[in-house]
Amino acid sequence: MLLHLVYGLTLTLGIQWVLWAVAAFYRTEKFYDLAGSGTFVLLAHVSLRWIGTKYLRQQIQTGLITLWGIRLGLFLFLRILRDGRDKRFNGVRDDPGTFFIYWTVQGLWIFIALLPSLILNFEKRNKPLGLLDYIGWALWTIGFLTQVVADQQKWHFKSDPDNAGRFIQSGLWAYSRHPNYLGEILQWSGLFISAVSVLRGFQYISIISPLFVWFLLNYVSGIPILEKQAIKRWGNEPGFQSYVKQTPVLWPF
């Protein structure tokens, strides 16, 4: 088990470092998110085949990761093609050393987020599907739909010329300032819950997966950056000040 996990981490970081070299040479971040989502899908399928068991639970878990990865990867890729650049990389894309850190963090994020599912796919033991599986997959479904709807609502909002220079506060964005990130956290939490069905001993350390995703989005690469940009752009507007006071940052309560 541990050896397979080391192989998985090595493969993940190796892919990110190779792609970093390409991205640094061309000074572009346009395929950063697509590469991350693609690595998620690749590692999930590779781990499913290393042991060769392919139990139903493993196949469903891998299928959900594949659906999430393809949907989100293509969405983010189309978005950056539309926008031209990702503001997260301002001052980064021209600095190979800092750029390398971003790609490395992405590799660690992939491995840690996938950890419960990797352990599940590497586990030769099997158990009948039970309550935890259905609870986990139901939570994943809620998170997936939340993220899809939130992304589409913001996409359509920004595509409307009448909304130029405005901030979105309708739909799911009226209940959370970052509903797409809420959906992300719910999905990885659901995948951990379903994997609990076969976890044992040290394998429970994989609870770090949803905790790490929450920490990363809430304190590092997601919400803090977007909140700072929003305050800089609309902070003096009474409407935005009211929105911030009335709408939770993440959880809709």
Give residue 116's pLDDT: 96
Within-domain flag for 114: yes
Q: Which three-class secondary structure state does DSSP give residue 130?
A: coil
Calculated CA dihedral for residues 46, 220, 144, 81, nearest 10 degrees: -80
Residue 253 lies in a domain: no
Decide if 200 is inside a domain.
yes
CA angle, 31 then 33 then 95, to 5°: 65
Q: What is the pTM of this model?
A: 0.91
pLDDT of residue 125: 85
In this predicted structure, what is the pLDDT of residue 221?
81
Handedness of CA 128, 134, 139, 142 (dihedral sign): positive
Q: How high is the pLDDT of residue 85?
A: 83
Residues (pLDDT < 70) of the chain are: none
Q: What is the DSSP letter of 199?
A: -
Surface-to-core class of residue 178, CB atoms within 10 Å of its CB (0-12 exposed, 13-18 middle, 19+ buried): buried
What's the confidence (pLDDT) of residue 223?
93
List all residues 6 or more positions away from 167 whose beta carbon is below 8 Å from its beta carbon: 230, 233, 234, 240, 243
Residue 66 lies in a domain: yes
Q: Token pair of 204, please?
A: 């429970």
Could you list the residue range(s) of the whole structural domain that residue 37 is in?
2-246
- pLDDT value, residue 149: 98
In the Cβ-directed half-sphere of 128, how many Cα atoms lie within 13 Å?
2
Asked if residue 76 is part of any domain, the answer here is yes
Identify the pLDDT of residue 141. Answer: 98
How many domains does one find in the chain? 1
Q: Judge whether 252 lies within some domain.
A: no
